[in-house]
Structure 1
Amino acid sequence: MKMGRLYIVGIGPGSKEQRTIKAQEVLEKSNVIIGYNTYLRLISDVLDGKKEVIGARMKEEIFRANTAIEKALESNNTVALVSSGDPQVYGMAGLVYDLIARRNLDLDVEVVPGVTAALAAAARLGSPLSLDFVVISLSDLLIPREEILHKVTKAAEADFVIVFYNLINENLLIEVMDIISKHRKPNTPVGLVKSAYRNNENIIITTLSSWKEYMNEISMSTTMIIGNSLTYRYKNYMITPRGYERKYEL
């Protein structure tokens, strides 16, 4: 019996215009679509009555992954497991592949990449990621707090531009920003982008010394970008030079 096919689809920031052509094609041709309920609402334009749609709540990632695998094992199913942003960046891809490996399954799986939150937020801010940067999740639900603090410390010491995802723990956020403040100037630009490319989008550029003034804008839908020693603000843009000025006359 021929098994079905499983796509792990990154839908980008949320708006249809930010999906890739490949993602749109896969969503349209899939007969089974599985995802977190919020993500399913973002792709309502492809959820016609002919598709089987399976929604799930927050913290039901294992259910979503296992359901997608089981549906794809059925003959002739084309299954799309949706993930916001990109499926590999704190998305569903790693969990699905891990479960497939643990079960020793021979399943046809393809990741469809999407625009991850770091890139979407950076585009709204200007160009803060033009040089080396790191992305760190501040969710300590799966990763020990001490490990997160260690990563932030090393990133700050190395002068990377730092992107924070999953800002769910206010105390942890304050702690990591205090660490960064030990290594960067008070006027270092800090960008906050809430709900990038969605209807309630909000874009703020502040500084390392003033970011706490905008604590009420920080939630799970907010991406934070902290500049490095070269990053500067010009009007409503954050800019991190790549280094052309070191070699060329600008």
Structure 2
Amino acid sequence: MTDEGRTAADDRSHTRIDRALVIAAHPDDIDFSCSGTVAVWTDAGVEVTYCLVTDGDAGGFDRDVPRSAIAGIRQDEQRAAAAAVGVSDLVFLGYPDGRLTVTLELRRDLARVIRRVRPDRVVVQRPVRDLDSMYGSHPDHTATGEAALCAVYPDARNPFAFPELADEGFEAHSAGEVWVLGAVAADDPATLRHVDITDTFDRKITALRAHVSQTAHMTELEDMMARWAGSGAKRAGFPRGRLVESFRVLDTR
């Protein structure tokens, strides 16, 4: 049986780590993309940290809510969503929503988080635009993905990069691997990992519903997520009825 055809029960090698760090641009990005996988990991004893680059202060739909209140609301929603899948360690970097670029400052701040958490695995957003999906190619996502990869290599592992981090007590750290969110047709199947989230799907939906400001209006949220995860499972060769989240795995050693 190929890796692509294994269920979580068949292969738990993806949980054989101690710490994982998930980096994303906005509150709710993680829950739409990989919170089912996070729940699988935390159930297996993996310590997971979330790093949110922005507070999502440009999001929301209710014009009666003051813009000044949105950041705090979305932070609270993300904390509740994280708790639903077993995560309590969250970092908010506070960059402006909708205006992210790959700056040295962002690379430094992400390298600081990597050095503090010292993860075995870092999960990042896809750093390149998907020409088949405008929705999946928010510029904040691609900027965060690129900055996160730069932070993994070379910034976090190079003791001479951003010397102020060492002065702060954050020594260099090399993460063993990077998991890039999602899978596209051009990806080499040998680089893909598909995590069976069938047993954690309900917690994924609970996490998404915690983002009230973003999902309260979505009456078909569960059906949409089930279609996405079911389609991914079918493409990966999983048995009928299974649900998966997919990643491209990069060996950074």
Q: Same fold (TM over 0.5)?
A: no
Larger relative contact order (Cα-Cα within 8 Å, sequence gap ≥ 6): 2
Rg (Cα) greater in structure: 1
TM-score by length of structure 1 reads 0.29
TM-score by length of structure 2 reads 0.29
* Greater share of residues in strand: 1
